[in-house]
Amino acid sequence: MLKVAKKKPFPVVAIGASAGGLEAVTELLQNLPPDTGMAYFYVQHLSPEHPSALAIILSRDAKIRVQDAADQMLVEPDNLYVCVPNKEMVVANGKIELHPRDDSQLPYLPIDDFFCALAVAFKEDVTGIVLSGNASDGTRGLKAIKDAGGTTFAQDNSAKYSSMPANAIEAHAVDFILSPLDIARELGKMSKKGYIKQGIDEVENKNELDDSDPDFKTILSILHKDTRVDFSHYKMNTIKRRMHHRMSKCGEKTVKSYLELLNSNSDEVVVLYKDLLINVTSFFRDKEAFSCLKKVYFPQLLKSKKPGEVLRIWVTACSTGEEAYTIAMLISELQNDIPDKIQIQIFATDLSEDVINIARAGVYSETDIAAISPSRVKKFFTKEGSNYLVIKELREMCVFATHNLLSDPPFSRMDFISCCNLLIYFDAAAQKRAIPTLHFALNDGGYLMLGKSETIGASLLLFTQVDPKFKIFCRKKDTGIRKVPELVPRFPGISTHSNMTIKKHTYPQQFIKAKITNNNYSNLASVIDAILLAGHMPACAVVNKEMEILQFRGSTSLYLAHPSGKASLNILKMARPEFAFELRSAICKVIKQKQPVTAQGVEMEINNVLKTVSLVVYPIEIEGDEPLLLVVFTGEDDIE
């Protein structure tokens, strides 16, 4: 919340509009209570060359004070501050700062820029509102506010020009879709519900959303059962706030009634799940950080690789793929004039299959690519209608897949991991689980980059901080047993998926005992076949499109093992961590290309000796049956 001098903190509300916005914001101000205790800011597309009388016009019907924003003006509650022409507005230390307008970045998106800045500064204490207007300014800003835990509104079909609110709604960046009149009423309700007196985390419904509420715990159990995601270790304030939003939209006043709705309507479970996920990203989201990566860390990693080796990168919580493609652009530029290019594999993961599908497609709107320079757009995108498609070279560099950092097996042998703005949504226990997982996944000397407000906490034995400004850490050499702590459910009744303890394995000799009777040639043939198959057939598994193993062949114990916890035949959960990355990557390619894919040179420690193994994934199509995949594992001759 905004703190001014010794006065009580108060939330801020950012309003953005363009064409038709005057009528919409006038209606909002006419119906806005004069004592909500919030500070309001209004940004509208204005000509930089002409003075504006917008503040004077709006003050005629408003019940709160309306004034032009001025540099170093003290921010007070129940005031509306209007951004003036040819200036960019920022709020810092309880005051307004005005800076010259920056026209170097086109298209000019003042609403997005202002909303994003407020989201960074005030997090969940920001409400964003997009009213009538053309194009899509405001969508990125609403995403940032929602990402930070704030509340977002968009004008409904009453908008004179619907492009701006419609774009935000389509991007799933909006909590409430209402008329200006109803937005004003909702802001009034928010103030009365305790957002002001007690803070946004202590709303009137706090007792209904208490951690110990059995109905609340049952809802989390339903989500876990239906989506396989345990939200009990996410920050409860964010979970409860977003659940409260869904309850409001559905007209449910109690958690009990909302639980009944979830039990009777499976579609609402899906909607709630999607609303709880954080799917906010953009190209070159932190320009300074990406510039540092290109100048310092990526060149180091490329230089460390020999011809034929692969540089492996993992982008966690990749959302719709912008960050993965940003990294692909940077590395492509670094290798632009190098004849013997290092092969790059960028593995990008997210909980949401919906956003993974968007990322795989690689198609983005003009607003999405606004932060990319025209020269890069020309080099890395092809125009398709009104949208832009990432070029094939970058798409083939990236493998997108669903993955849960807290429950799925970790990857290994990564050179760089980006885990920006994910840990802030985890509680302490989940963070303690995530950090060792990321440590396990990295090579010695590999780099981990976190978000600006994130830290490795007490895991100083695992990482050395090499860049405090951009939160970049280097993996310390690990000589002992690696252990990823088990994540115990926060609430009783929620089962955990697996215990991810990883240690050195020893594999005993396999003996085949067969009883052969003298006059039974049929049995003899069967026994010989069994011995040959068991002793010489490569280990392999047949899986369906859900990655469930249908059949085993040969001895698969070197490569596949049952994790502790809930039983599962999912091959990605059973796979040894050393080749989990290659297996996922190969399966995704086969599904997409319908051609066999080979992954070679995977190192595994067996009987305390480092061995090299390979795997091949084949597509299988049987007439009248579902498509299947055959995964074949092969190792060195002396693997036993």
3-state class of 597 per DSSP?
strand
Question: Strand, helix or coil at 539?
Answer: strand
State the distance between the two ends of the chain, measured CA to CA, in whole angstroms: 63
Q: Spell out the long-range contacts of 233-237 with Cβ–Cβ below 8 A and sequence spacing 24 or more.
A: 233/406, 233/426, 233/427, 233/429, 233/430, 233/433, 233/487, 233/489, 233/490, 234/276, 234/425, 234/426, 234/427, 234/430, 235/424, 235/425, 235/426, 235/427, 236/211, 236/427, 237/124, 237/149, 237/201
Could you tell me which residues come within 8 angstroms of residue 355 by beta carbon, excluding any fewer than 6 positions away?
277, 279, 318, 319, 320, 321
* Active-site residue, 45 included: yes
Among 18, 282, 332, 412, which one carries the catalytic annotation? 18
SS3 assignment, position 218: helix
| Contact between residue 27 and residue 180 where contact means Cβ atoms under 8 Å apart | yes
**Residue 341 phi, psi dihedral angles, 5° rounding:** -75, 145
Instruction: Tell which residue, 178, 260, 242, has the closest CA to residue 205.
Output: 242
For residues 575 and 599, what is the distance between their CA atoms, to the nearest angstrom?
14
- What is the rounded distance in angstroms from the CA atom of residue 136 to the CA atom of residue 107? 11
Q: Is the dihedral of CA 328, 334, 336, 341 positive or negative?
A: negative
Based on the residue annotation, tell me whether 224 is a catalytic residue of this protein.
Answer: no
According to the 3-state scheme, what is the secondary structure of 452-495?
Answer: CCCCCCCCCCCEEEEECCCCEEEECCCCCCCECCCCCCCCCCCC
- Residue of 152, 114, 107 lying closest to 131 (CA atoms): 152
Task: Report the amino acid identity of residue 462.
Answer: L
Phi, psi angle pair for 614, to nearest 5°: -135, 165
CB distance 603 to 499 below 8 Å: no
Q: Where are the beta strands (DSSP E) in 254-407?
A: 310-315, 343-350, 363-364, 381-384, 387-390, 398-402
18 catalytic residue (yes or no): yes
Beta bridge partners, 69, equal: none
- The angle subtended at Cα 273 by Cα 269 and Cα 276, nearest 5°, is 140
Q: Are 219 and 244 in contact (CB under 8 A)?
A: no
Given 113, 125, 137, 415, the catalytic residue: 137
Q: Which residues pair with 634 in a beta bridge?
A: 614
Residue with tokens 């007196």: 197
Active site residues: 18, 45, 137
